[in-house]
Amino acid sequence: MADSAHTHAAMSKAFTKESDGDDDEDMALPAIPAGTRNYMTPKGYADLRAEFMQLLDVERPKIVEVVSWAAKNGDRSENGDYLYGKKRLREIDRRIRFLTKRLDVAEVADPSAHHGSDQVFFGATVTYANARGEERTITIKGIDESDSLKGEVSWIAPIARALLKAREGDEVQLMTPGGVEKIEVLEVRYPAPVRV
């Protein structure tokens, strides 16, 4: 009977165990479309790589040291340093796995290669106007580096998809929740190549 109670308790615990968050990936970032590379600018790649190295070489070893020290201090169930350290270690490891996957499929595309072109490619800064004459300027960047507060959009965003391959003066159709909207490409710019 005691064995049966033990089995029941173990089973109940198994079904109620909370996820430790290993369902992976940063929820905020969209998935990379199947069969494509993870396009990013040289700066975007360098920033992701720097974050990866910081986590791997600096933050993770510090947390491992704290967890190791805290584990030696007795009862782990009430040890805040130990519990926080283990949680933070899981977060760091999850981010390292995510960055490893993103960097493994990275395709660095230097926008300056198109300097002087009037056609929209990855890395372009595009000024466009809608039918109401409202102008907007965006820069097309990688999924992992775009920042909408800076006017940057991911190359998989609907506006970027509509603009890609268009030229200055072209009208393109943008699918919006309110229907199809016509937009006109007013200007296309790329950064100048860096002279070494």
According to the model, what pLDDT value does residue 28 have? 53
pLDDT attached to residue 22 = 42
pLDDT at 161: 94
pLDDT at 64: 93
Among residues 160, 25, 177, 27, the alpha carbon closest in space to that of 102 is found at 25
Q: What is the pLDDT of residues 61-73, one digit of tens each?
A: 999 998 888 888 7
Of residues 27, 146, 169, the one with CA closest to residue 159? 146
Sign of the alpha-carbon torsion through 29, 30, 31, 35: negative
pTM for this entry:
0.74
Determine the angle formed by the axes of helices 42-54 and 80-104, rounding to 10 degrees: 150
Compute CA distances 78 → 17, 63, 71, whole Å.
19, 18, 11
Regions of the chain short of the pLDDT cut 50: 1-27
pLDDT digits (tens, 9 = 90+) for 163-180: 999 999 999 999 988 899
Domains defined along the chain, listed by start = 37-107 (1.10.287.180), 111-189 (3.10.50.30)
- Predicted local confidence at residue 112, as pLDDT: 94
